[in-house]
Amino acid sequence: MRSADPTIPVLDLSASSTDLTRQLCDIESVSGNEKTATDAIEASLAGLDHLELFRNGDALVARTNLGRDRRVVIAGHIDTVPLNNNLPTRYESIDGRDYLWGRGTVDMKAGVAVQLKLAAELTAPIVDVTWIWYDHEEVSESLNGLGRLAREHPELLEGDFAILGEPTNAQIEGGCNGNLRAEVRTFGLRAHSARAWVGRNAIHDAAPIFMALAAYVPREVEVEGLVYREGLNAVGVTGGIAGNVIPDECMVHVNYRFAPSRSGAQAEAHVREIFDGFEVTIVDLAEGATPGLTDPLAQHFLEAVGGEAKPKYGWTDVARFSALGMPAVNYGPGDPLKAHADDERVALDQIEDCERGLRAWLAGS
Catalytic residues: 79, 137
Provide the 3-class DSSP secondary structure of residue 9: coil
Identify whether the C-beta of residue 330 lies closer than 8 Å to the C-beta of residue 91: no
Sign of CA dihedral 144, 146, 151, 153: positive
Q: Contacts for 35-40 with beta carbons within 8 Å, 24 or more apart?
A: 36/8, 36/9, 37/78, 38/78, 38/133, 38/135, 39/3, 39/5, 39/8, 39/9, 40/3, 40/8, 40/9, 40/10, 40/11
What angle do the packed helices 348-363 and 296-305 form, to 10 degrees?
A: 130
CA gap 226, 220 in Å, rounded: 10
Q: How far is CA 52 from CA 49, 55, 106, 131, 323, in A?
A: 8, 10, 28, 10, 25
Q: Which of 117, 112, 109 is nearest to 346 (CA)?
A: 109
